[in-house]
Amino acid sequence: MTCRKGRLPAIRRVSSAIGLYEKALSGRTWADRFRQATTAGYDFVELSIDSSPQKLERLSWSERERSTLRQYAADAGSRIGTIVLSAHRDFPWGSPEASIRHRADELARDAIGLARDLGAHCVQIAGYFVFDGQRDENVRDKFIEGMRVAAAIADEQGITLAIENVDGQDVLSASDGIALLADIDVPDVKLYIDVGNYAGNRLDVVEELTTALPYAYAVQFKDARPGVFRRVPFGDGVVPWPEVLAVLEASELRGAVSIEMWNDDEDPAMVADALRWFESVTFP
């Protein structure tokens, strides 16, 4: 993207598709949530599948429930862009317990099927080999094995898998992610870059982003402070947003950008305020 688009707001200069993490929305119904996202200026919503019973139940939605959700999105001029599968934090592929690894396989398979039925093109995989639990010397190899099985299923369904850099001790940096992609060795597995997690891990955000972008499916925006990865308001963290936007513009990013927030107070203005904040960022 070049200065031909220089009069557009900064965030629109780096991507034509801007998404929003579901947990930022305050609407009580899905119809309300999609309308809220569209009215605020977002193009798609990332759907969460964490390990809470309510979110895991989504993997068992009936054909009618899936069709209805897709229609709600279409009616609002929106769509489900990505299934964010964070349930692997509690059911990790790297576990030494075969039963847990089997559950991880089930979660990935079901999330891929849900993505297909909802018209999403990607399932985001958190880069935790094991987040909090028993580990052994084969933890990384087990994760790779699980990813390869899931990638074969995703390929059959026309779905991309993309690995998010995270907190913890596994996929933290761009080099961690790139090395993992090389060892998985499946062309359609990509990175889902979280710039806030680079900052939370005390890494050079611009250097990491620049290195990871050629391998990226999408980029998530959230702010962070060293060691603080969630619920940091935009502008209160250490992510160098003007430089991040400049790197993305220079890269001619082909994927989407999404904004990740948690709306704990059910603030109906949060989603519009975040996009407005980004649109005020100036390039260096």
Task: Please tell me the pTM assigned to this model.
Answer: 0.94
Flag whether 284 is in a domain.
Answer: no
With beta carbons less than 8 A apart as the criterion, state whether 242 and 255 touch. Answer: no
Q: Which of 161, 146, 170, 223 is nearest to 192 (CA)?
A: 161
Question: In this predicted structure, what is the pLDDT of residue 157?
Answer: 97
Question: In this predicted structure, what is the pLDDT of residue 24?
Answer: 97
Span 83-119, pLDDT tens digits: 999 999 999 999 999 999 999 999 999 999 999 999 9
Q: Distance between CA 212 and CA 193 in Å, rounded?
A: 7
Residue with tokens 């305050």: 26
The residue segments making up the domain with residue 48 are 3-279
Flag whether 110 is in a domain.
Answer: yes
Flag whether 217 is in a domain.
Answer: yes
Span 72-92, pLDDT tens digits: 999 999 999 999 999 999 999
Q: Distance between CA 234 and CA 224 in Å, rounded?
A: 8
* 22-59 as b/e: b if 16+ CB within 10 A: bebbbeeebbebbbbbbebbbbbbbbbbbeeeebbebb
Question: In this predicted structure, what is the pLDDT of residue 5?
Answer: 41
Flag whether 176 is in a domain.
Answer: yes
Span 168-225, pLDDT tens digits: 999 999 999 999 999 999 999 999 999 999 999 999 999 999 999 999 999 999 999 9
Flag whether 132 is in a domain.
Answer: yes
Question: In this predicted structure, what is the pLDDT of residue 256?
Answer: 92
With beta carbons less than 8 A apart as the criterion, state whether 127 and 179 touch. Answer: no
pLDDT category, 4, cuts 50, 70, 90? very low
The HSE-up count of residue 133 (CA atoms within 13 Å, CB side) is 17
With beta carbons less than 8 A apart as the criterion, state whether 82 and 49 touch. Answer: no
Span 229-280, pLDDT tens digits: 999 999 999 999 999 999 999 997 888 999 999 999 999 999 999 999 988 8
Flag whether 10 is in a domain.
Answer: yes
Contacts of 230 (CB under 8 A, 6+ apart): 222, 224, 262
Number of domains in the chain: 1
Flag whether 61 is in a domain.
Answer: yes
CATH code at position 191 = 3.20.20.150
Flag whether 53 is in a domain.
Answer: yes
In this structure, the number of other CB atoms found within 10 A of the CB of residue 75 comes to: 12
